[in-house]
Each structure stands twice: as C-alpha cells, then as structure tokens.
C-alpha cells in the first residue's frame, strides 16, 4: 500500500490509464483513505473533463465551399497542364517529322511511309465520303452542332483517360 502522498505525475499516470492492474489497485486503495490525495485527484479529474469538453470552433458557413472551390481550381489546373503536355508533345513530334522530311532526302522512305499511311488509314477518306453523303441531307447548323458534340465527347474521353492514368497507382492495403 502506498504510504506517502501521491505526486502529480502518478495521479496523471492513473487518469491516463498508464498504471498496471496492481498499481491501480494500490492507487485506489490509497485514495480511498487519504483525503488530501483524493482531493488532488479530483482537481485533476475536473481539469481533464474541462480539457476534453472544449467547445467546437465555429468556422465560417462557407468554409467547406471555399475549400472545395480552391481544390477544384488546383485540380483543373493540373489536369489542363496534363492535356497541354500531351498537346505539346504531339505537336513537337509532328514538327520534328516534318523538319526531318524537309531537310533529309528520304524519297524512298517518304514513299514507303506514304504507302503505309494510305494502307492503314485508307478507310478514312471512304468513311468521310459516306459521312458526307449522310451529312448532305442535314442542315449546316445541325452539322456544326454534331461536330461540336463529337469534339466534346473526345475531350471527355481524353479527360477520363488522363485522370485515370494519374491515379492508377493508388492502393489501399494497410
């Protein structure tokens, strides 16, 4: 049994739940019989209770809205940057190829490349003529609206692909 009075550290160890079962029993026995130590423990208990019950901080009503707005701006900014990177990379490749063909005499290679492109993408002019036939019956306003819708769809697909690629490495294992 603890015969000396309890010091402040021991009281706090008890209230924080750091004592072993035996130490707790000794502590509780002492406190039952010592008014001074019980009174000091109660003072600490009251302080802990007040510290644990601090009122919630009132942030402005628009706090969450502002956070989401700020985050959206950052997110869109980084996405636009990603699309810009793709655009400039493609533009660079196209310019580089054109410069190469301009300065280097590669007639054979040029004709080979042309033949390959015609073979691979030869269906596009045929598709375009079929498409033109279909479009022939549609008014110009509708045509523009259709093209705008197709471009929007392509942008949405590109947006999804870029976003998914950015976050594909996230994993949640503990």
Q: Which residues bind other proteins (CB under 8 A)?
A: 8-9, 12, 43-44, 47-48, 50-60, 63-64, 66-68, 70-72, 74-75, 163, 167, 169-174
Shorter beta-carbon distance to other proteins: residue 48 or 144: 48
13, 19 Cβ separation under 8 angstroms:
yes
CB 15 within 8 Å of CB 48: yes
Shortest CB 92 distance to other proteins, Å: 28
Query: What burial class does residue 82 get, using C-beta atoms within 10 Å of its C-beta: 0-12 exposed, 13-18 middle, 19+ buried?
Result: middle
Q: Cβ closer to other proteins: 9 or 105? A: 9
Ramachandran quadrant class, 6 (left: phi over 0; alpha: psi -120 to 50; beta: rest): beta
CA distance 14 to 32: 14
Phi, psi of 114 (to 5 degrees): -60, -40
Give the nearest distance from C-beta 17 to other proteins in angstroms: 11
- Residue closer to other proteins by CB (options 47, 124) is 47
**Minimal distance, residue 49 CB to other proteins, in Å:** 10
Based on CB atoms, which residue is closest to other proteins, 80 or 118?
A: 80
Q: How far is the CB of 86 from other proteins (least distance, A)?
A: 18
Show Cβ contacts of residue 143 under 8 Å, excluding neighbours closer than 6 positions: 135
């Amino acid at each position: 049994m603890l015969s000396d009075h309890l010091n402040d550290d021991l009281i706090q160890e008890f209230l924080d739940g750091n004592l072993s079962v035996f130490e707790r029993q000794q502590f509780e026995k002492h406190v039952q019989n010592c008014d001074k130590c019980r009174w000091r423990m109660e003072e600490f208990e009251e302080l802990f209770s007040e510290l644990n019950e601090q009122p919630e901080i009132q942030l402005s009503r628009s706090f969450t809205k502002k956070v989401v707005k700020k985050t959206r701006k950052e997110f869109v900014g980084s996405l636009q940057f990603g699309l810009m990177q793709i655009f400039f990379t493609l533009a660079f490749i196209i310019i580089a190829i054109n410069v190469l063909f301009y300065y280097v005499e590669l007639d054979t290679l040029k004709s080979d490349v042309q033949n390959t492109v015609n073979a691979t993408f030869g269906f596009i002019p045929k598709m375009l003529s079929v498409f033109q036939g279909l479009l022939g019956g549609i008014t110009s306003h509708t045509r523009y609206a259709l093209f705008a819708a197709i471009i929007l769809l392509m942008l949405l697909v590109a947006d999804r692909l870029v976003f998914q690629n950015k976050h594909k490495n996230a994993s949640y294992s503990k």
